[in-house]
């Protein structure tokens, strides 16, 4: 990297931040052109990132990791933190994903939010979101990363609750914020442990020393650090047990969902874990927990996805499941890091495309999200149907679409290892692929195929809502087309000759190639067979047969999946209620013991004073008697002491 391009790094954060500042501080004056300024800020950031990327491609692999230090941030005794930007293949990958997909979503939002009076504020928040995410991935220390981390949390809170006129939207924003705080505690504790163990929080000091730290500080400390980082990642990436906010986050405008699920926010947890790879390798127990959490969430999200009738919530469940794949890969060690990021990249494209497509469908169907009232839309929304179809094939992992190259590699990596692990993780990943195929096909068929379950206002459609579906304006379809192209080609282009894996090697290290416990051709065949089965099953149920407009009574598992496998009930029973009881008990103790004690003391002294006051009755004779009594007591004491 040349110094000139390296010094551009702060502008990656500053550009969208300036956009956000102008839009949010400028007020109503910027209403007329504010959305275009937002698009411009995002696009300019992408250009800056592109310049850096081209420069990095021209430098040899061993010189690609660089830190641009702006100055000292905190200098307090033994604690010294620099304000620096980490520029390497991993952070630049994120920069490109965030700015490219982010810019497309900005463009889409110009049309999607056209009729919203608060469009300017919306773009301000979008820019803030992008800026925070870029700060997160470009930070050269955990502390600076934490600033971006909190910024992302704030922006997501503002955007999820954007339409806060409705109570449930505001509640959803608050839920996301509060659940993220739980994860943030993990990151804070991890930073404290890092400071105590390594005396620093910068990547350059901590990561190379991770191996020695394990011998110096003991295995338990390293495991604690790993688990705390995992907790942080679970909060941001909506993994078990902090997954419940993701479905409710669909309350935000659809472009926000696309941004949260594809480019920013949920990918932050995967980034954190891959970046902290050496720390996790020094703590094999924590690493195993990461993989287990990933595998569980993968299945959890997939099962929930099969039962959701809300198109956005089905997509949200699918995100949870796909991020589970990435976490699983990150928990597999060096063999999985590159594939986690690879899947994250391709997922960013097809999930953004799917969400923007869902927004387009909602746009056409008067903001209805119930897929049971969709159907037969392919003919009326051709561009949306085709772009979403390509995204659908990509997420399924059908060759030669993007998802095939990234997801299949994760499944292969999951089958690498010894003992029970490859069988458990591998089979989970395989199963997940099959279920993914089922629920994504269900979503696609219910929306675009089959008979229409809405009315066009003509006779014979009793009871069905009247809709007038129309294709979205070009400002919305073009970003979808671009993302669809990415969904189709990106995976293949980057997979040729392990191009992407080699590109990430300066950060993730070179992973020795290991053979899976089953031959690769068999794994690919098995995956494809499961995917084909999933599609066929969904086709029979939701394209051939008529889809009932009211959810039919189903078995226990489906009913549980419809309410997110009772995630909210579990949270309420395990955390919320005990917390409330604890708070109430503490309030009661405070009132009864602490307040009561002091009030009692004060009251006692008051009553004593009232008693003593009666002695002061104003009669000279009683004062004289008191004096005489006192004299008598003094005389008695003197007499007793003398004798």
Partner 1 sequence: MEITNYLGLAAILFAIGAATVLLRRNAIVVFMGVELMLNATNLAFVTFARIHGDVTGQVLAFFVMVVAAAEVVVGLAIIITIFRSRRSASVDDVNLLHS
- Residue 618 lies near partner 1 (rule: CB under 8 A): yes
d(CA 324, CA 328): 6
Only one of the segments 280-288, 316-324, 500-508, 617-625 lies at the binding site for partner 1 (rule: CB under 8 A); that segment is 617-625
User: Which residue number, 4 or 616, has a Cβ lying nearer to partner 1?
Assistant: 616
User: Which residue number, 167 or 614, has a Cβ lying nearer to partner 1?
Assistant: 614
- Which residue in 420, 521, 619, 639 binds partner 1 (CB under 8 A)? 619
Helices (H), 276-310: 277-281, 284-307
- Residue 620 lies near partner 1 (rule: CB under 8 A): yes
- Which residue in 192, 594, 624, 636 binds partner 1 (CB under 8 A)? 624
- Which residue in 617, 639, 641, 642 binds partner 1 (CB under 8 A)? 617
Q: Where are the beta strands (DSSP E) in 221-274?
A: none
User: Which residue number, 533 or 625, has a Cβ lying nearer to partner 1?
Assistant: 625
User: Which residue number, 3 or 620, has a Cβ lying nearer to partner 1?
Assistant: 620
d(CA 385, CA 447): 9
Only one of the segments 9-17, 52-60, 305-313, 624-632 lies at the binding site for partner 1 (rule: CB under 8 A); that segment is 624-632
d(CA 500, CA 497): 8
Q: Is the dihedral of CA 176, 178, 184, 189 positive or negative?
A: negative
User: Which residue number, 36 or 623, has a Cβ lying nearer to partner 1?
Assistant: 623
DSSP state of 30: G
- Residue 553 lies near partner 1 (rule: CB under 8 A): no
d(CA 562, CA 549): 15
d(CA 473, CA 480): 11
Only one of the segments 32-40, 458-466, 514-522, 614-622 lies at the binding site for partner 1 (rule: CB under 8 A); that segment is 614-622
Q: How far is the CB of 625 from partner 1 (least distance, A)?
A: 5
Q: How far is the CB of 616 from partner 1 (least distance, A)?
A: 7
d(CA 44, CA 470): 32
Query: Considering only CA atoms, which of 463, 449, 455, 457 is closest in space to residue 547?
Result: 449
Q: How far is the CB of 622 from partner 1 (least distance, A)?
A: 9
User: Residue 83: which H helix or E strand, with range?
Assistant: strand 79-87
User: Which residue number, 167 or 621, has a Cβ lying nearer to partner 1?
Assistant: 621
- Residue 420 lies near partner 1 (rule: CB under 8 A): no
Q: Residues 258, 311: contact at Cβ < 8 Å?
A: no
- Pattern 570-609, partner 1, x by CB under 8 A: ----------------------------------------
- Which residue in 576, 587, 628, 636 binds partner 1 (CB under 8 A)? 628
Query: Considering only CA atoms, which of 370, 327, 563 is closest in space to residue 467?
Result: 370
Residue 6 in tokens: 């390296």
Q: Crossing angle of helices 119-138/9-26, nearest 10°?
A: 160
d(CA 432, CA 447): 22
d(CA 321, CA 302): 6
User: Which residue number, 420 or 619, has a Cβ lying nearer to partner 1?
Assistant: 619
DSSP state of 616: -
d(CA 158, CA 392): 30
Only one of the segments 15-23, 269-277, 371-379, 610-618 lies at the binding site for partner 1 (rule: CB under 8 A); that segment is 610-618
User: Which residue number, 27 or 632, has a Cβ lying nearer to partner 1?
Assistant: 632
- Residue 625 lies near partner 1 (rule: CB under 8 A): yes
| Total residues at interface with partner 1 (CB under 8 A) | 9
Q: How far is the CB of 613 from partner 1 (least distance, A)?
A: 9
User: Which residue number, 578 or 629, has a Cβ lying nearer to partner 1?
Assistant: 629
| Alpha-carbon dihedral angle through residues 292, 508, 275, 409, given to the nearest 10 degrees | -40
- Which residue in 616, 639, 640, 642 binds partner 1 (CB under 8 A)? 616
User: Which residue number, 220 or 627, has a Cβ lying nearer to partner 1?
Assistant: 627
Task: Give me the residues paired with residue 86 across strands.
Answer: 67
Residue 433 in tokens: 């692929």
Binding site for partner 1 (CB under 8 A): 616-621, 624-625, 628
């Amino acid at each position: 990297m040349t110094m000139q391009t390296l010094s551009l790094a702060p502008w990656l954060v500053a550009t969208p931040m300036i956009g956000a500042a102008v839009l949010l501080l400028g007020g109503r004056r910027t209403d007329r052109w504010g959305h275009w300024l937002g698009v411009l800020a995002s696009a300019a950031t992408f250009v800056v990132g592109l310049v850096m990327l081209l420069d990095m491609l021209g430098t040899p692999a061993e010189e690609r990791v660089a830190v641009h230090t702006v100055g000292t941030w905190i200098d307090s005794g033994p604690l010294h933190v620099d304000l620096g930007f980490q520029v390497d293949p991993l952070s630049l990958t994120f920069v490109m994903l965030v700015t490219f997909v982010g810019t497309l979503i900005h463009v889409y939002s110009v049309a999607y939010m056209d009729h919203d009076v608060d469009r300017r504020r919306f773009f301000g928040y979008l820019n803030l979101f992008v800026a925070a995410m870029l700060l997160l991935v470009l930070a050269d220390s955990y502390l600076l990363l934490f600033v971006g981390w909190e910024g992302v949390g704030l922006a997501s809170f503002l955007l999820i609750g954007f339409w806060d006129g409705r109570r449930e939207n505001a509640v959803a924003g608050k839920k996301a914020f509060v659940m993220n705080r739980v994860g943030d505690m993990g990151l804070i504790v991890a930073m404290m442990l890092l400071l105590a163990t390594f005396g620093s929080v910068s990547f350059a000091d901590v990561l190379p020393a991770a191996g020695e730290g394990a011998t110096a500080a003991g295995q338990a400390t390293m495991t604690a650090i790993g688990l705390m980082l995992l907790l942080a990642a679970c909060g941001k990436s909506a993994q078990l047990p902090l997954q419940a906010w993701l479905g409710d986050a669909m309350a935000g405008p659809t472009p926000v969902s696309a941004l949260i699920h594809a480019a920013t926010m949920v990918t932050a947890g995967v980034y954190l874990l891959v970046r902290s790879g050496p720390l996790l390798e020094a703590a094999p127990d924590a690493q195993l927990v990461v993989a287990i959490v990933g595998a569980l969430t993968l299945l959890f999200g997939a099962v929930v996805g099969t039962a959701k009738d809300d198109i956005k919530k089905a997509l949200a469940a699918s995100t949870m499941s796909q991020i589970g794949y990435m976490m699983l890969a990150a928990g597999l060690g060096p063999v999985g890091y590159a594939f986690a990021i690879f899947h994250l990249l391709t997922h960013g494209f097809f999930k953004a495309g799917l969400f923007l497509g869902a927004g387009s469908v909602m746009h056409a169907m008067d903001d209805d999200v119930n897929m049971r009232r969709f159907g037969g839309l392919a003919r009326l929304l051709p561009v949306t149907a085709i772009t979403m179809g390509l995204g659908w094939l990509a997420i399924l992992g059908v060759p030669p679409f993007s998802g095939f190259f990234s997801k299949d590699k994760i499944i292969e990596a999951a089958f690498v290892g010894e003992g029970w692990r490859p069988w458990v993780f591998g089979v989970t990943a395989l199963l997940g692929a099959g279920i993914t195929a089922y629920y994504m096909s269900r979503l696609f068929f219910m929306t675009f195929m089959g008979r229409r379950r809405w009315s066009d206002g003509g006779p014979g459609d009793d009871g069905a809502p009247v809709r007038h579906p129309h294709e979205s304006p070009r400002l919305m379809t073009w970003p979808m087309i671009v993302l669809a192209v990415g969904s189709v080609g990106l995976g293949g282009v980057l997979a040729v000759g392990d191009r992407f894996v080699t590109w990430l090697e300066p950060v993730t290290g070179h992973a020795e190639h290991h053979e899976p416990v089953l031959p690769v051709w068999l794994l690919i065949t098995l995956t494809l067979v499961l995917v084909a089965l999933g599609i066929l099953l969904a086709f029979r149920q939701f394209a051939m047969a008529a889809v009932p407009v009211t959810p039919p009574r189903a078995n226990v598992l489906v009913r549980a999946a419809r309410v997110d496998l009772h995630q909210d009930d579990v949270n309420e029973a395990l955390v919320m209620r005990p917390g409330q009881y604890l708070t109430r008990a503490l309030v009661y103790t405070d009132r009864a013991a602490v307040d009561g004690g002091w009030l009692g003391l004060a009251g006692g002294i008051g009553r004593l004073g009232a008693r003593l006051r009666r002695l002061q009755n104003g009669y000279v004779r009683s004062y004289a008697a008191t004096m005489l009594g006192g004299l008598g007591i003094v005389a008695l004491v003197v007499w007793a002491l003398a004798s």
